[in-house]
A and B are shown apart, each in its own frame.
Chain A
Amino acid sequence: MTRRQAPYAVAIVGAVLITGAIALISSRTTVPGLSAFYLLLVLWLGARWGRGPAVAGSVAAFLLYDYFLVPPTGTFTVSGPKEFLELVVLLAVALVTGQLAASLRQTQAAAEGLATESRALYELATAALRSPEVATALSLLRERATRLESVTRFDLVAMDFGQVTPLAGSEPTADELHQATWSYENGRPVGIAIGDGAVKLVRTVPASPAPAFLPLANGVAVIGIGAEHPDPAELRMLAALIGLASLLLDRRRAGLEAERARGFEASDRLKAAILSSLSHELKSPIAALRAGLTALAAPQAGLKPEQQELLLDLDGQATRLDRLVGDMLTLSRLEAGVELDKEPHRFADLVGTTMRQLRSDLKGHEVATDLADDLPPVEVDELQVGRVLTNLFQNALEWAPPNGGIAVGAIARESVLEAWVENDGPAIAPADLDRIFDTFWTRRARGSGLGLAICKRVVEAHGGTIRAENRRRGPRFTFTLPLARVTARR
């Protein structure tokens, strides 16, 4: 006896046993409605094995009851309408009960199937997301997907930074890769769609062997479905697997991006190292020159005054060369994206530092400062802003007439400090007011054209702006710096 036949055998044996029991009871005493016992059996059969055994049980009960218990017994004939009615009711009730029990069983089975499906998915998702290697996780996924009966293919193609990479052991053809790229770039699925938590087939030709393409956030799923009418449960599972694959592709992309950022960082470090070594290479000879020239220019060296003068003049040239090299290195550092060491500073302190550094140059010029005691502190990189002030002062010194005035000042405006440096020199041609900040642009043959370009870069790196304008008395350079958000403490 096979597994499929067993429930039917149980149905018949059960009906025989119940018939025996009813016969035994009715031989002793008269109890009406004993046939209801059959219903218990049918109910149980339906719940246990579904409709088929329940119907078999009902028919067996009907026949046995008629043959052994409905007068005239021993025949399948029925004596009167009452007995006939009893039999029909038995059959009808048995059939309906069996049907109900069977459909109940089916619902329960479906629920259990769903639970199993979600548990399997959950386990797969956990395993996949836990796996440190995205490739391993994707292979797990691919393996699970191809275990579905109707799925013949489940390939993943990653799309990163314009590069197409087949993943997890999939080997799409060149043509398929082409189609996948098209689908990704246009954001259009081919032959497949996902909706209501399940995969839907969109077929122009029925059961075409060509795979379907579904674009994901960072790649494309290449899916082959063999069956003409796939099981809806499988299509749901497939949708869930694709969702998971999409997540894993996102994770892979995040990893790649982090790696790329590390690469960029390394190249920034390399740039910084080159600049640092370049600065060493360029500055060391200048340092030797200056040390030698100034040593020989000392009175103790015993040279004639005009020789000393010549040496000091050469030292001045070496100093200019040093400044030029310094400016070029500064500019390339700023272009390479220098990291600002921002801290709260009092603007007056920054001005003080610069004026002190330039004090020998500033001799003979009157410097007026307009810096209120209660100016709020600025959030800046001290050295970089020092460079801005130094360059603006040097520019002012270059243009101010001998003994001419230079003025520096600042006022707070909402979230920025507006600072200016002005001199009594000649006005800047209106057409030059903008390009004066361009690299290598200079009003004089002597200038390097870098000083103001550096100012602009530094101010802009701080999120500020810089501009030049002409007042009646001479040019003025105005720039803004961010205010610090600190409360002073003691």
Chain B
Amino acid sequence: MQRALRAGLKYHDFDVRAVGSGEEALREAAAWRPDVILLDLGLPGMDGFATLRALRPATRAGVIVVSVMPGERDKVRALDLGADDYIVKPFGTEELVARIRAVLRRQADVSAGEPVVRSGDLAIDLARRSVTVNGRAVRLTPTEYELLRYLALHAGKPVTHTTLLRQVWGEYAVGDKYNTRYVVAQIRKKLGDDPANPKYIVNEPGVGYRLEAGT
């Protein structure tokens, strides 16, 4: 698996280094300073989550978690621990490359400090607190704006229900996921988005939401 991935990624012009355990990953992350780290949760030795926890303060690299379990609990836990994205095995090289590019693009956007986040014809101007679809202004309640703003700040990245609840409503609201579902439904309605085929805010089943990034 590792050899196949390394070959596949090299064809796409990535510099790749592979290690076999969490401890080595920590050392390599500090010494080599990669842009993106692929972390398999089923690591031998040090547990994948423990590695993620140790990795996060040690590096600014984007972390994509690889898991064989389609269960949503692992994803939520990894994202809450600071992972940028996750991918479930098995996957094709193209899919993985797309995820890596998305993480890299996001890193570039964040460092550029772009005040306007775009998702298709939706534009969120973080400096002026305004939201427009196709140039037409959309009026959102403060709660709706806060939720959209948080998703915009992490455009392209899945954001968990827990994180949204904590960021928008505060610590006491954690656990009441229907809050986020209700507000997202309201936002979609105002943006003219079809819930059965959403363009802007997409569901991450069992995890949360993601704002589609890019124009």
A residues near B (Cβ < 8 Å) are 276, 279-280, 283-284, 286-298, 300-301, 315, 318-319, 322, 326, 341, 343-346, 348-349, 351-353, 355-356, 367, 369, 371, 373, 377, 382-383, 386, 408, 486, 488-490
Contact = CB atoms under 8 A, between A and B. Distances in A.
Given A284-B1, A346-B181, A489-B182, A382 B196 contact: no
B205 A291 contact: no
Contacts of A348: 195-196
Which 8 interchain pairs have the tightest Cβ spacing?
A295-B8, A292-B4, A300-B11, A287-B90, A287-B89, A294-B92, A348-B195, A291-B4
Interface string B162-197: 000000000000000111011101100100001111
Interface residues of B, number: 42
Contact of B8 (A294, A341, A356): A294
B128 interface: no
Contacts of A488: 178, 182
Given A279-B68, A283-B68, A349-B181, A294 B197 contact: no
A290 B205 contact: no
8 contacts: A287-B89, A288-B1, A288-B90, A297-B93, A300-B11, A301-B7, A490-B143, A490-B182
B205 A386 contact: yes
A297 B195 CA distance: 36
A489 B141 CA distance: 14
A341 B70 CA distance: 15
Given A352-B196, A355-B197, A382 B205 contact: yes
B203 A287 contact: no
Nearest to A348: B195
Given A348-B195, A355-B196, A356-B203, A295 B181 contact: no
Contacts of B69: 276, 279-280
Contact of A343 (B9, B96, B178): B178
Interface string B10-44: 01110000000000000000000000000000100
Contacts of A371: 195-196
Contact of A322 (B90, B93, B186): B90
A236 to B, nearest CB: 57
Contacts of A341: 206
A353 B203 contact: yes
Main secondary structure of the interface of A (DSSP, over half): helix
A343 B177 contact: yes
B93 A346 contact: no
A289 B93 CA distance: 11
Contacts of B120: none
B68 A373 contact: no
A298 B93 contact: yes
B202 interface: yes
A118 to B, nearest CB: 52
A367 B37 CA distance: 38
Interface string B48-72: 0000000000000000000011101
Contacts of A346: 181, 185, 195
Nearest to A367: B197
Question: Which interface residue of B12, B69, B178 has the most chain A CB atoms within 10 A?
Answer: B178
Given A351-B196, A383-B205, A489-B178, 9 more contacts: A279-B68, A284-B68, A291-B1, A292-B7, A353-B203, A355-B196, A356-B203, A367-B197, A377-B181
B195 to A, nearest CB: 4
A291 to B, nearest CB: 4
Contacts of A295: 4-5, 7-9, 11, 93
Contacts, number: 129
Contacts of A377: 178, 181
B115 interface: no
Contacts of B93: 291, 294-295, 297-298
B214 interface: no
Interface in B139-165: 141, 143
A36 B39 CA distance: 112
Contacts of A351: 195-196
B195 A326 contact: no
A322 B89 CA distance: 9
B121 interface: no
A489 to B, nearest CB: 7
Given A283-B68, A383-B206, A349 B11 contact: no
A276 B68 CA distance: 10
A352 B205 contact: no
Contacts of A408: 196
A318 B189 CA distance: 40
A276 B11 CA distance: 33
B12 A298 contact: yes
Nearest to A330: B70
A290 B181 contact: no
A486 B177 CA distance: 12
Contact of B89 (A284, A319, A349, A356): A284
Contacts of B196: 348, 351-352, 355, 369, 371, 408
Given A315-B92, A369-B196, A486 B68 contact: no
B88 to A, nearest CB: 9
A355 to B, nearest CB: 6
A291 B89 CA distance: 9
Contact of A298 (B3, B8, B206): B8
B90 A382 contact: no
Residue with the highest number of chain B CB atoms closer than 10 Å, among A283, A288, A295, A490: A295
A297 B179 CA distance: 45
Nearest to B13: A300
